[in-house]
A and B are shown apart, each in its own frame.
Chain A
Amino acid sequence: MAKLKQAPAGGEIRLKRGLQRGTVIRIKFYAILTIAILFVLFAMNAEHFAPYDPIANDYACSLQPPSAEHICGTDKLGRDVYSRILCGAGGSFSMAFVMLIFVSTIGTTIGMLCGYFGGRFDVIMMRFVDVLLAFPDTVFAIAVAGMLGPGVLNAVIALGLLSWTSFARMARSLTASVREKDFIAQARFNGASTPRIILKYIFPNVAPQIIVMATMRIGGTILSLSSLSFLGLASQPPAPEWGVMVSESKAYMQTAPWMMIYPGLALVLTVVIFNLLGDSLRDVMDTKKQ
């Protein structure tokens, strides 16, 4: 009897756990998504929240430590660090976002064409990708940005030149596997033309992974853009950009560490938020598939 009673109980627990796992993943995803959306909304409207003008100098209060008036202190020119951080968020995010949309579109298009048609175009394209991937990406970006000259647009181009390749590779391998599926043969049977097959049948099956990949890249891209700014290759002073701010703080590391710490923390926080978003998006997709 005892055994008989235990069996369904065990089954129930397992069932519950299975249910919980999916739900937990989903709740986690929505929580992080909410945070990320709030972050973006906040970043885009930062001017309304910033207590001070991020660019106007005020020599009267230069290099002040954090206080009630300036919660993150001020820099050499008396600008409020907190306001500069807030106003810098929007720029970093939108640059990364625009670049990723652009790069993933190009990468996915090329990858899908390679994967679908194969042949010589595919071979040439993929060898080209291999060559590009052989460069260490930061060094490559620095070299290209240096060649094109400093500027945000050039920095974005420099980063974009390499980062489309991983989207292309991913799209290519996904396309090559989807292509062999029966529903493609069936689609051709139903009279679908090749462009239609690529757009209506292959793309929807490739897109989720591409979106996950792009989301996971937001944090890293913000970081890379800031690094280039730090090196003086992207945003230029006096722009309130985090990399620029860290770079400006180098000379005051000991006397005014807040100038470096707070933009650094902002960068870490942003990267963590978007990486978590990417991870949990992937988890949600995985549970959906099962």
Chain B
Amino acid sequence: MTEEKRVVLDVEDLCKDFVLENGSRLSAVDHVSFQIREGECFAVIGESGCGKTTLAKLITRVEEATSGRVIFQDRDITALGRGKMKSVLRDMQMIFQNVLSVVSPKMKIQDFLLEPYRNFRLMPKREALENIRRMLKSVRLTEAVLKKYPHQLSGGELQRICISRAFGMNPQLLICDEITSALDVSVQDDVMKLFRELQSQHGIACLFICHDLALVSNYSDRIMVMYLGQNVEIIDSADLGTKALHPYTRGLLQSFLFISSDRGRAIRTISGEPQSPVDVSANCRFCTRCPKASSRCFEEVPPLREVGPGHYVACFLLE
């Protein structure tokens, strides 16, 4: 069981409000808590704009959290200074959502890949290059890419370069922000297989952000469903189809075609308009679209409760 494994990342009650130009507050991440253990692939899914990227940026301190704590390897990193954070970042790698823009257009891939080795003083250049070549081979790219500029490469190639860089650093935690969304479906599967292969090989804990439920249920161990900044359900991937409880998760499952599903079944979509994330009052964010919402859902924030082993749901309807 996963229970015995060491907790790598512990996120407690993390919140992020963006203050917009007109003074209103946009709540992008709202009281999110979860834990990731060693070697686990923890997926975060949710629709566009629900705060997935913001969550990743909070954990990596690209953005500062409004409140809450991030504990990485038993160390609270929410308030670490710049210098100490640098040593933390060595063990935490992130693959950004938009790979096309993560390499400076004026930089060759070789320099880009050498940067972490140089900046963290990990090893001399020759060894680093050897390491880089080995990693490139493992993502099935040739050395020729080293001499190229990013605009000379395809999105898929850049994506694999970023993956090779992240794994080459041998991190404790790898955060992947929609690493497949820029790729077409045929390449997607290749990249994912490769990714899982590398992940299990290196035994790295992984926070995997995605909005593709099918992909996630195939390739991850646990899934956290987010809706407008709130964490609505955490569930084992294997149980997703059968045990999901939150109305939003169920809605997602129904709106999405399992290959195995019988053709006769109607596809249902989630009806209603989502709330605006600006200046929200304390309620369940899903209340406006929830088919079973009661008056309480409009007035209080449902807490995250454990309903089964490793299964958490935030919904009043289940009490």
Chains A and B bind each other: yes
Residues of A bordering B, CB below 8 Å: 181-183, 185-193, 196, 200-201, 204-205
Known contacts A182-B96, A185-B62; decide if A192 and B102 are in contact (CB<8 Å): no
With a cutoff of 8 Å between Cβ atoms, the chain B residues found around residue A192 in the complex are: 115, 119
Is A189 a contact partner of B94 (Cβ separation < 8 A)? yes
Is B101 a contact partner of A189 (Cβ separation < 8 A)? no
> Which of B57, B94, B106, B107: most chain A CB closer than 10 A?
B106
With a cutoff of 8 Å between Cβ atoms, the chain B residues found around residue A181 in the complex are: 101
> Which of B90, B101, B105, B115: most chain A CB closer than 10 A?
B115
Known contacts A191-B86, A191-B90; decide if A183 and B104 are in contact (CB<8 Å): yes
Q: Return the chain B residue nearest A185 by Cβ.
A: B62
Is B98 located at the chain interface by the 8 A CB criterion?
Answer: yes
Closest Cβ of chain A to B207, distance in Å, is 14
Known contacts A182-B96, A187-B115, A191-B119; decide if A205 and B90 are in contact (CB<8 Å): no
Is B116 located at the chain interface by the 8 A CB criterion?
Answer: yes
Closest Cβ of chain B to A204, distance in Å, is 4
Q: Return the chain A residue nearest B60 by Cβ.
A: A189
Please, what's the 1-or-0 string for B97-117, where 1 marks a CB less than 8 Å from any CB in chain A? 010011111110000000110
With a cutoff of 8 Å between Cβ atoms, the chain B residues found around residue A193 in the complex are: 119
Partner of B115 from A182, A185, A190, A204 at Cβ < 8 Å: A190
Closest Cβ of chain A to B122, distance in Å, is 9
Partner of A204 from B57, B101, B106 at Cβ < 8 Å: B106
> Which of A181, A189, A200: most chain B CB closer than 10 A?
A189
Cα of A5 to Cα of B226 in the assembled complex, Å: 54
With a cutoff of 8 Å between Cβ atoms, the chain B residues found around residue A205 in the complex are: 104-106
Q: Return the chain A residue nearest B93 by Cβ.
A: A189
With a cutoff of 8 Å between Cβ atoms, the chain B residues found around residue A204 in the complex are: 104, 106-107
Is B90 a contact partner of A201 (Cβ separation < 8 A)? no
With a cutoff of 8 Å between Cβ atoms, the chain A residues found around residue B62 in the complex are: 185, 188-189
> Which of A187, A191, A193, A205: most chain B CB closer than 10 A?
A191
Closest Cβ of chain B to A182, distance in Å, is 4
| Interchain residue pairs A-B with the least CB separation, the first 7 | A191-B119, A204-B106, A190-B115, A190-B116, A182-B101, A186-B102, A183-B104
Name 19 extra pairs, CB < 8 A, besides A188-B89, A189-B60, A191-B115: A182-B96, A182-B98, A182-B102, A183-B103, A183-B104, A183-B107, A185-B62, A185-B96, A186-B102, A189-B93, A191-B86, A191-B90, A196-B119, A200-B107, A201-B104, A201-B107, A204-B104, A204-B107, A205-B105
CB<8 Å pairs between A and B, sample of 12 = A182-B98, A182-B101, A185-B57, A186-B102, A187-B115, A188-B62, A189-B62, A190-B115, A190-B116, A191-B86, A191-B120, A196-B119
Q: Return the chain A residue nearest B165 by Cβ.
A: A190
Known contacts A181-B101, A182-B96; decide if A190 and B119 are in contact (CB<8 Å): yes
With a cutoff of 8 Å between Cβ atoms, the chain A residues found around residue B90 in the complex are: 191
Cα of A189 to Cα of B101 in the assembled complex, Å: 14
Known contacts A189-B60, A190-B116; decide if A183 and B102 are in contact (CB<8 Å): yes
Cα of A260 to Cα of B162 in the assembled complex, Å: 64
With a cutoff of 8 Å between Cβ atoms, the chain B residues found around residue A190 in the complex are: 115-116, 119
Q: Return the chain A residue nearest B162 by Cβ.
A: A186
With a cutoff of 8 Å between Cβ atoms, the chain B residues found around residue A186 in the complex are: 96, 102-103
With a cutoff of 8 Å between Cβ atoms, the chain B residues found around residue A183 in the complex are: 101-104, 107
With a cutoff of 8 Å between Cβ atoms, the chain A residues found around residue B116 in the complex are: 190-191
Cα of A128 to Cα of B62 in the assembled complex, Å: 32
With a cutoff of 8 Å between Cβ atoms, the chain B residues found around residue A189 in the complex are: 60, 62, 89, 93-94
Cα of A67 to Cα of B106 in the assembled complex, Å: 55
Cα of A187 to Cα of B111 in the assembled complex, Å: 11
Cα of A23 to Cα of B225 in the assembled complex, Å: 53
Is A191 a contact partner of B104 (Cβ separation < 8 A)? no
